Structure 1
Amino acid sequence: MALAIGAAGMAASAWAQAVDPDQTYTVPIYVTGSHSPANYQIYVSQNADGSDAVPYLFDTGSPNMFTVQGTNTSIAPTNTFVFGDGDPVYGYYVEGRSLSLTTKASVQVTPVVSNFNTAMVVQINGNTVASSTPLADGTYGDFGAGLYGTSTLSTLLTALPIGSNARLGYVVNVAGISSGEGALTIGLTQQTIDTLTNSPGAIQLHMNHSGDQIQGPDGRLITGYLKGVAVTTVTVQTAEGVASADLATVFDTGGGPNGVIYYGNSSTPPGVFDGYLPNGSFSLTSPDGETFDSWVGSSPWGGSVAVIGNQAPSENRVNSGGYLFENYVVMYDLESAVLTLVPVPEPSTWTLLAVAVLLVVPAVIRRKSRG
């Protein structure tokens, strides 16, 4: 199956020529309240008119879109992909698809990006997966919103055309929502950047470039970032006392309830985290000493501390857990390489944030009929 290299933005390019200079998009994120890895869902259509959209796990810890929708199970997988500790193993082939983001009611919010390379999942752990049938979590796959893909297989978010006055980046806002509807803002206006950056308690982290190129708007390539998009200090309780290490940190909407440390080239928790207490304490601290994630006994979603070995030293990292996004509005500014965490605001500042981020009217795309 030939890859659709370089063609990802062809349809989007035509749209960009007519787009408003300040164009951004606000797409619903549906919070299921299940406190599981599939807690956050986003709807994607593979039709030119945006119809028949289905839910996907909105996953900032994954680099691209994996789908069972419209797959051809007679095609053998050409590659595999795993998350976390390596189970399950997804077998897929790559195909160019026409994709747009919508509401739950299939109202189209973004333009269609044609021929966008998508991982078509046909096997899980070697077993054939039925086409266009929901997976066990009720989704049709994984909508990767991570920034560590490749030039031929990466996130749709960076391929969508934005206005010339907007900056590359996006805001994930499900803060304070245990179930219901949040928002994903694609493209950053200066007002959004200023409002979030200057919000009370905002924490800024430098984002780590990967050195790789990923698909950008209008078919061009942009700089990607590592899976561990920033470095923080993780501190846990062990049988020998408190242990800390500076680790690349994955801010992962699909991370589930646990605080997970992937560490060391060993089958058991090695070195500094040896003897960690699953029901002990866990915290993440910025390089400036600001603690933004801290709990004792169990996480906000009832999870625990986990340390997983067998990691190459270059892959040492910590996963924040999906619950972090219920406590923070998270902004990824790809042009300044800054990740901003804004805590759930007090009522006095909520209105200001709403104006800048929450109440942006989605730009609904209406296809013009041909006369």
Structure 2
Amino acid sequence: MRQNRWMVSLFAAGAVAFSAGAAEAAKPAPAKAAPAAEAKKAPEDVWKLIPDTVAEVDGKSVSKDEFVKFLLKSIPDGKIPEGLTAEMIRKEAPGLVKQMVLDRLISAQVEKAGIKSSYEMAKAKLNERFKSFNPQQLEMIKMQMAQAGKDFEKLLDEQAKNPQVQKDVAIGEFLEKNVMKTVKVTDEEVRKYYEDNKATQFTEPADQPDMVRASHILIMAEEGKAKPEEMKAALDKATKIMADLKKNPEKFEEVAKAESQCPSSRQGGSLGAFGKGQMVPEFEKAAFELKEGELTGPVKTKFGYHIIRRDAAKGPTVMPFETVKPQLTKFLESRKQQQAFLDYIKKLETEHKVKYTMPLEVPQLPGAATAPAAK
């Protein structure tokens, strides 16, 4: 329920409009143009297209002034960005008004349920979310932040102290306990979806003639970032792995899962099929030169050192039900949760006799799920 997500797109549009007009404004003035001081127009009233009453809740009017205050609280320093026009705000206003009304209604329900926002709750939920990440993915995020001079734990702590984040977490806790808890997906529903969509979503097409299929093991040593001794250590490790795999090539997947620093390690190093131009040049050249089953390496790229194996091309492959069942179950749960949320919104609006002045569209959950596809 964060207003900021709405505002980012709105203000970005304003910035684009401002930039587009800058070139026109920079043109030389006509010979008879008025002096700059006289030609300067008064700033536009960006709220002029908003009606005096934007909504009605429980028989009481929600005023334009309340709406303006709501938005200004979401803007850094409470200042309207340059280039933002009344028409831009008018276009976004219906969704923003609904956001404001629902924020009030759900916040009241959260308070009624006795759920209090706090730093402790926010910190716990943020930690819980990051723990759900794949360990290597999380480690990569931390490493990238460190390289950018940012401390992961400090940033997490700052987020947990943010009042809006705390409020969002409290709302999420309420919805989880009171709206989402009834959502269940049966094995029969999962199986039916799989059978109905097997051909379109769970069948991987055959590899194209101009593509290769390969797996790799990456020992990271980023060009320009790793120290000389780190580069040497990475090369030595990759060289040893290559020597061991020449003796025991059947252990490739096992070694990839244990040693590779690429997310593909979860699939035993498999990168699937790819064509020319999809990989960095050094990797592409090495992969395309291999015959099926052959190994090469270490191959140096800007990411580090790779051991590459050319894999056999595949024809059309149907993903087994048991393989996709966990992901598919989550997708169907997410879809049901979205509908439960929309039903809950409708219930709140009906109970509180909500009426909107401007046309509205049915809102969608942020990051609405899409059906899983074959990979």
TM-score class, shorter? under 0.3
Greater share of helix: 2
State which structure, 1 or 2, has the greater radius of gyration over its C-alpha atoms.
2
TM-score of the aligned structures, taking structure 1 as reference length: 0.23
